Amino acid sequence: MKRTLLLLLCGIAVSAAAKNTRDRHESVDLGLSVRWATTNVGARKPYDYGTYYAWAEVESKEFFSSGNYKYGNGNSYTKYESREFCPTYDGRKVLAPGDDAAAVNWGNGWRMPTKKEMEELIAYCTWEWTTVNGVYGAKVYSKADGIEDQYIFLPASGSMDGNEPLERGNNVQFWTSSLNGASAYNCEMFKVDDTKDIPLNMFSNRCLGMTIRPVRSLEENDLKSISLGGDIDMAVGGMKIMKVITAPQHPVGGGLFSWETSDPAVATVSETGVVTAMCAGSCCVTARLGQLEAVCRINVTFVEPEAVDLGLSVLWSSVNVGALTPYELGGLFHKGETAPFEWLLEKGWRLPTYTEYEELQHETRSNWRYNVKMADSLGMECLFGWRFSEMQGYEDRNIVTFMDLEDLTDVFGEDFEYSYYFRMTADGSEPGDFEYDMKRSPLLPVRLVRDYRPGDMTVEPSIMIFDENVCLEPGEARVEYALAQPGMVADNTMIEWVSSDARVATVTDGVITAVSAGKCSITASYGGASASCNVTVVKPGSGQSDYQYVDLGLSVKWATVNVGSTAENVYGDTHQWGKPVIDIHEYVNRQRYDIDADTADVASFNWGGDWRLPSRQEMQELIDSCDWAMDESGGIKGWRVTSRKEGFTDRSIFLPYRNSYANYMCGDIAMDWSKEYTRCASLYITESATSVSDGSGKRKKVHYLIQEPNRTNSYYVRPVHP
């Protein structure tokens, strides 16, 4: 019994000693948002290297490699896999407390620093190389007023790869708790000839062994007073990250304090100090830290934005939802969240469609200003710029749009990266990068649009048809596009279409159908403006002769020009695979953003008859059976492709290219490596060449090859027919 009691008392004493040891870790106030420990995990003195850990592992080991990494799984990871193409994707980018070596081994509020806290240490402190007790390292001094003599010493501990130390004695290096793709952020500072070097924000293989310098939150006795500044005016739906002013001054985040609102119906406040304006009225928001307290009045109003006419298909709001001025970000909203701006929806405003967003992006020019602080907004550095309309008569119209903000993970309490996309609705078009960004950024700003109303149009109406001459055979049909302004009306059903002779060709909503041989004109009218195109209907079988071909002695005959060109030295149009109709945006702004989603053979759709896209095999035949030579005789660069077939060596075609390269579309598709997207085969030709051996010891240039780029890329089209 005595022995049992003695063992029990010894156990209690050991536990108490362990707790006291854990509590004895010292920290230094450097005037930052956290206090930094004076030693590394596992170190007894500031100049000791301490223990090395792989990222997300809480126990040390003698050998560090991908083979024995706790969360390793070949080319991906079983945990903290933020790369979406990996099967084990979980989207995590910040360590959980149970995988934080500082939190597990020290406890008592200690943890690994975040990327942002490491950047504070780099930016707001003075670093200098020195030796302490014979150990090279960096003394990191505070720049804050009154505590400039405060510092921590970071020994040049380097890292471990396998059981070999890397740059020990030359490199200050320690982990943060933040990920960057497959790698983890860490701090690095190299010693260069005993001179001072700049510490860097780096990211390294998480399987390496590195030391850990813990941090802990500020405490009440670190601050003498706090305040929230004066009253704040907000618009319904807006957000404001509350900034706490401390004395002494520290760059503290809202998560340090407890928050309270006097009226959540007017404005709510999150655990990290994010105020969201819910309804018109006034309330008070309070921040507390122990006995310290600060109060701020929030005044919320309804603000309807101005409708800006950029000459596009809809009117855009002058500000984001929740913003009082164009230079505020406003609110950030989850998908489907509309309650804070229902009052605007009732007034005829709505979310833009993806096509309307694309129209804004690609039918305007952008004059960007960089690193500008937004006034009265979320209080963060961002990129913003003015989007000026390029539509005729609207050149002086613009709206302010935003680009990237810094990481808001610590503010919103989730894995969040700001995107410059707006929240929008699906409309059947392919969202592309937007869907990826929605996965990455669960919160997005909202910029509303509304349809035109009588009196909105301030510019004289105009209309244009894009093809001046159309040639068809009886029974053939094609879609003719028109663009009407104001409003950039591209919907053929909103335009009045008339044929001058229905015996030759009829037209309905822009669809021209050939009836019998002859000529007529097709006229499109909108708001008093009109435009026409000429239609020629030829005898059956003769339409194909409108496009010339060359017989190179191959399995198919190759056209002499690209789709959309009239001569071999004219580039022609580029298309996306399976989208044969060129969007009106191409004609307006000479950019490529196709919107027709009907899958069809681009060559057949545009030229009719037996014309079609070449197959991969036919393209390879062109490569293997012809000589390729640079040619600029037509005034543009390109390849003169001459047949090597007996009896055909005097025949050639010319394939022009821009910017030293061009892709020509192929009719074949293939699944890419991720098995998520189909890719089309294409003939890739380039002036800049890849060097390969020809077997004779010499080097020759390869100018052409078949590749499989993304289907959303744009290509030239060179048709073939039997």
pTM exceeding the 0.85 threshold for the entire prediction: no
Which one has a higher pLDDT value, 76 or 284? Answer: 284
Dihedral pair phi/psi, residue 428, rounded to 5°: 90, -15
Separation of first and last alpha carbons in the chain: 102
Task: Mean pLDDT check: name the lowest of 180-189, 476-485, 693-702.
Answer: 693-702
Residue that has been written with the tokens 């806290």 in this structure: 117
pLDDT given for residue 542 in this prediction: 52
Distances (CA, A) of 591 to 8, 353, 431, 574, 588: 79, 20, 18, 10, 8
With cut-offs at 50, 70 and 90, classify the pLDDT of residue 674: very low
Tell me the residue type at 361.
Q
Of these ranges, 195-199, 240-244, 360-364, 439-443, the one predicted with the greatest mean pLDDT is 240-244
Which one has a higher pLDDT value, 703 or 71? Answer: 71
Choose among 597, 620, 624: nearest CA to 667.
620
Task: Mean pLDDT check: name the lowest of 175-179, 209-213, 576-580.
Answer: 576-580
Are the CB atoms for 599 and 578 separated by under 8 Å? yes
> pLDDT digits over 209-247, tens only?
999 999 998 888 888 899 998 899 999 999 988 989 888
> pLDDT digits over 84-97, tens only?
778 888 878 889 99
pLDDT given for residue 46 in this prediction: 95
In the chain, domain spans: 22-217, 220-301, 307-450, 462-543, 547-721
* CATH code of the region 462-543: 2.60.40.1080
Average pLDDT over residues 391-405: 72
Mean pLDDT (the chain) is 80
pLDDT given for residue 698 in this prediction: 45
> pLDDT digits over 16-55, tens only?
333 334 457 999 999 999 999 999 999 999 999 999 999 9
pLDDT given for residue 435 in this prediction: 53
Choose among 607, 638, 571, 629: nearest CA to 720.
607
Model confidence at 172: pLDDT above 60? yes
Choose among 292, 293, 111, 107: nearest CA to 212.
111
- CA-to-CA distance for 114 and 180, rounded, in angstroms? 12
Model confidence at 149: pLDDT above 70? yes
pLDDT given for residue 397 in this prediction: 81
Average pLDDT over residues 602-627: 84
pLDDT given for residue 670 in this prediction: 55
pLDDT given for residue 587 in this prediction: 40
Model confidence at 151: pLDDT above 90? yes
Which fold would CATH assign to domain 220-301?
Immunoglobulin-like (2.60.40)
Which one has a higher pLDDT value, 253 or 393? Answer: 253
Model confidence at 677: pLDDT above 60? no
Distances (CA, A) of 235 to 85, 240, 325, 379: 40, 10, 10, 16
Are the CB atoms for 388 and 398 separated by under 8 Å? yes
Assign 606 to helix, strand or coil. Answer: helix
Average pLDDT over residues 423-447: 64
- CA-to-CA distance for 355 and 597, rounded, in angstroms? 12
Average pLDDT over residues 468-475: 81
pLDDT given for residue 9 in this prediction: 43
Q: Other CB atoms closer than 10 Å to residue 645's CB: what's the count? A: 13
Choose among 130, 98, 124, 92: nearest CA to 111.
98
Task: Mean pLDDT check: name the lowest of 416-420, 477-481, 507-511, 522-526.
Answer: 416-420
Model confidence at 8: pLDDT above 70? no
Q: Comparing 220-301 with 462-543, is the CATH topology the same?
A: yes
Which one has a higher pLDDT value, 205 or 473? Answer: 205
Of these ranges, 205-219, 366-380, 489-503, the one predicted with the greatest mean pLDDT is 205-219
Average pLDDT over residues 452-471: 80
Model confidence at 314: pLDDT above 80? yes
With cut-offs at 50, 70 and 90, classify the pLDDT of residue 4: very low
With cut-offs at 50, 70 and 90, classify the pLDDT of residue 579: low
Model confidence at 368: pLDDT above 60? no
- CA-to-CA distance for 576 and 599, rounded, in angstroms? 10
Choose among 257, 394, 252, 416: nearest CA to 332.
416
Longest dimension (CA), the chain: 118
Average pLDDT over residues 179-207: 73
Are the CB atoms for 437 and 471 separated by under 8 Å? no
Buried b or exposed e, range 122-144, using 16+ CB within 10 angstroms: bebbebebeeeeebbbbbbbbeb
The verdict on whether omega for the bond into residue 352 sits within 30 degrees of 0, i.e. cis, is no
Q: Work out the percent of the chain whose per-residue pLDDT is above 90.
A: 36
With cut-offs at 50, 70 and 90, classify the pLDDT of residue 598: very low
